[in-house]
A = this chain, B = another copy of it.
Amino acid sequence: MPDRSVDPELVYSKFETELQVRPDDIDMYQHVHSSRYMDYVLAARFDQMERCYRMPMAEFQQMGYGWFMATAHLNFKSPLALGDRFVVRTWIEKFTLIGVKVQFEIERKAGRKSVCIGWFDYVLVSLQTSRAVRIPEAIRRKYSI
Cβ of A38 under 8 Å from chain B: yes
- Known A82-B57, A83-B56: A34·B28 in contact at CB below 8 Å: no
Cβ of A145 under 8 Å from chain B: no
Query: Are A38 and B34 neighbours in the complex by a CB distance under 8 Å?
Result: yes
Please give the number of chain A residues whose Cβ is less than 8 angstroms from any Cβ of chain B in the complex.
36
Cβ of A96 under 8 Å from chain B: no
- Known A57-B82, A82-B46, A83-B56: A39·B23 in contact at CB below 8 Å: yes
Copy total for this chain: 4
Query: Are A72 and B69 neighbours in the complex by a CB distance under 8 Å?
Result: no
Cβ of A99 under 8 Å from chain B: no
Cβ contact of A82, chosen from B28, B38, B68, B75, cutoff 8 A: B28
Query: Are A71 and B76 neighbours in the complex by a CB distance under 8 Å?
Result: yes
A124 to B50, CA, bound (A): 33
Dominant secondary structure at the A interface: mixed
0 or 1 for each of A20-57: is its CB under 8 Å from B? (1 = yes): 00111011111001111011001100110010000011
Chain A residues near B (Cβ < 8 Å) = 22-24, 26-30, 33-36, 38-39, 42-43, 46-47, 50, 56-58, 66, 68-76, 79, 82-83, 127
Query: Are B24 and A39 neighbours in the complex by a CB distance under 8 Å?
Result: yes
CB distance from A65 to the nearest CB of B (A): 11
Q: Which of A28, A33, A50 is most buried by chain B, counting CB atoms within 10 A of its CB?
A: A28
Can you name the residue of chain B whose Cβ is closest to the Cβ of A70? B76
